Amino acid sequence: IGGGSYLGIIQGTILPAPTFDPVMDAQVLGGALQGMDCDKDVLINILTQRCNAQRLMIAEAYRNMYGRDLLLDLKETLSGHFKEVMVGLMYPPASYDAHELWHAMKGAGTEENCLIDILASRSNGEIFQMKEAYLMQYDSDLLQDIDSETSGHFRDTLMNLAQGTRQEGYADPVMAAQDAMVIWEACQQKTGEHKNMLQMILCNKSYQQLWMVFQEFQNISGQDIVDAINQCYDGYFQELLVAIVLCVRDKASYFAYRLYNAIHELGFHNKTVIRILVARSEIDLLNIRQRYKERYGKSLFHDIKHFSSGHYESALLAICAGDAEDY
Mean pLDDT value across residues 159-178: 93
Q: How far apart are CA 222 and CA 80, in angstroms?
A: 49
pLDDT tens track for 15-34: 999 999 999 999 999 999 98
Can you give the residue range of the structural domain that contains 152? Answer: 93-163
Q: Would residue 15 count as lying in a domain?
A: no
Q: Would residue 109 count as lying in a domain?
A: yes
- Split at pLDDT 50, 70, 90, the class of 170 is confident
Where among 135, 163, 191 does a domain terminate? 163
Grouping H, G, I as helix, E, B as strand and the rest as coil, residue 167 is coil
Where among 89, 111, 134 does a domain terminate? 89
Q: How far apart are CA 121 and CA 38, in angstroms?
A: 36
pLDDT at 2: 37
Q: Are residues 314 and 257 in the same domain?
A: yes
**In terms of residues, how long is the chain?**
327
Q: Would residue 151 count as lying in a domain?
A: yes
pLDDT at 244: 98
Mean pLDDT value across residues 51-71: 97
Q: Would residue 3 count as lying in a domain?
A: no
- Split at pLDDT 50, 70, 90, the class of 8 is low
Q: Would residue 126 count as lying in a domain?
A: yes
DSSP state of 222: S
- Split at pLDDT 50, 70, 90, the class of 318 is very high
Q: Are residues 241 and 203 in the same domain?
A: yes
Q: Would residue 14 count as lying in a domain?
A: no
Taking 80 as the threshold, does the pLDDT of residue 322 lie above it? no
Where among 219, 249, 279 does a domain terminate? 249
Q: Are residues 126 and 180 in the same domain?
A: no
Q: Would residue 139 count as lying in a domain?
A: yes
Listed in sequence order, the residues at least 6 apart from 307 whose beta carbon sits closer than 8 Å to its beta carbon are 263, 268
Q: Are residues 185 and 148 in the same domain?
A: no
Q: Are residues 79 and 28 in the same domain?
A: yes
- Split at pLDDT 50, 70, 90, the class of 323 is low
**DSSP H or E segment with residue 207:** helix 207-221
Number of domains present in the structure of the chain: 4
Mean pLDDT value across residues 34-45: 89
- Give the CATH number of the domain where residue 60 resides: 1.10.220.10
Q: Would residue 291 count as lying in a domain?
A: yes
Q: Are residues 79 and 132 in the same domain?
A: no
Q: How far apart are CA 285 and CA 13, in angstroms?
A: 6
